[in-house]
Amino acid sequence: MTTPVRPRNDPVRPRSNPVRPRNDPAQYDDLAELWWQPGSRFAMLHWIAAARARLIPPPARGGALLLDLACGAGLLAPHVSGYRHVGLDLSATALPQARAHGVIPVRGDVLHLPFADGVADVVVAGEVLEHVREPLTLVAEACRVLRPGGTMVLDTIAATPWGRFLAVTVGERIPGGPPERLHDPALFVDRCALVAAAARCGVRLTLSGLRPSALDYLAWLAGRKPVVRMLTTRSTAGLFQAHGVKETP
């Protein structure tokens, strides 16, 4: 008797999972087994994590600290080295997986960071601003724990019709895209407000758009590529990145 082989890009989802409200954090626990499963509904999170890492500079000193806010299962870890990589998340099912990939796990709330002022050389907040009701509070907290001269790296979804179309209308219906109901478009991020909030805290952000390579995506669907490159674009109306350095006194 042979065991059926699941297609590589089949969006695995346990049948017993309940249908939850949009943006319910419990979805991450429902889908905990998918974090590191190749071809799962979390595949694009891996691709975005690799793009996020491109904006992180090499550590400038021994023992440099990287704070990874809403770290999930530690998807950033394979793409950075040389840092003390501390990951904060609310998910009790994701943090053990982050630990297994070399992240020092801390359970906590991104809106109330349990860290001292100016402790981090790098603060990363990937794919989380669009999940909280007070994204500017998160930005202020991230700036607070960042040392002068330190680097901030963010990625999120713009509060635009195009952002909703890409992340929800299309994204939830394609292989590798986010699971259904993971995002609430009402929480997508105002880019001007984001830049202004960071500037008030001494971080001048530079924004750029992000999209998957169409050729890579087709090759991935066909099983010829293990990952898809995320390419930088001029338009920030959909998925976008932001990075900046905190001013020194």
CA-to-CA distance for 150 and 60, rounded, in angstroms? 10
- Structural domains for the chain: 26-245 (3.40.50.150)
pLDDT at 18: 83
pLDDT at 16: 62
How does 139-165 read in b/e, with b if 16+ C-beta sit within 10 Å? bbbbbbbbbeebbbbbbbbbbbeebbe
pLDDT at residue 5 is higher than 90: no
**Which distant-in-sequence residues (6+ apart) come within 8 Å of 172 by Cβ?**
178, 179, 180, 181, 182
pLDDT at residue 135 is higher than 50: yes
CA-to-CA distance for 111 and 108, rounded, in angstroms? 9
Summarize pLDDT for 141-158 with one digit per residue, the tens: 999 999 999 999 999 999
pLDDT at 130: 97
Q: What is the mean pLDDT of the chain?
A: 93
Lowest mean pLDDT among 8-22, 68-82, 155-169, 214-228: 8-22
Q: Where are the beta strands (DSSP E) in 49-187?
A: 65-69, 84-89, 104-107, 120-126, 146-157
CA-to-CA distance for 29 and 92, rounded, in angstroms? 8
| Per-residue tokens: 146 | 């960042």
Look up residue 79 and give its DSSP letter: G
> Which residue, 158, 63, 169, 53, is CA-closest to 45?
53
Task: Please enumerate, as own/partner, the contacts of 31-35 that have beta carbons within 8 Å and a separation of 24 or more.
Answer: 31/179, 32/73, 32/91, 32/93, 32/94, 32/97, 35/72, 35/73, 35/75, 35/94, 35/97
Q: Is the pTM of this model over 0.85?
A: yes
Summarize pLDDT for 172-198 with one digit per residue, the tens: 999 999 999 999 999 999 999 999 999
**Furthest C-alpha separation in the chain:** 70
Q: Over pLDDT 70: what percentage of the chain?
A: 94
Find the helix packing angle between 135-145 and 191-200, rounded to 10°: 30
> Which residue, 150, 84, 88, is CA-closest to 122?
150
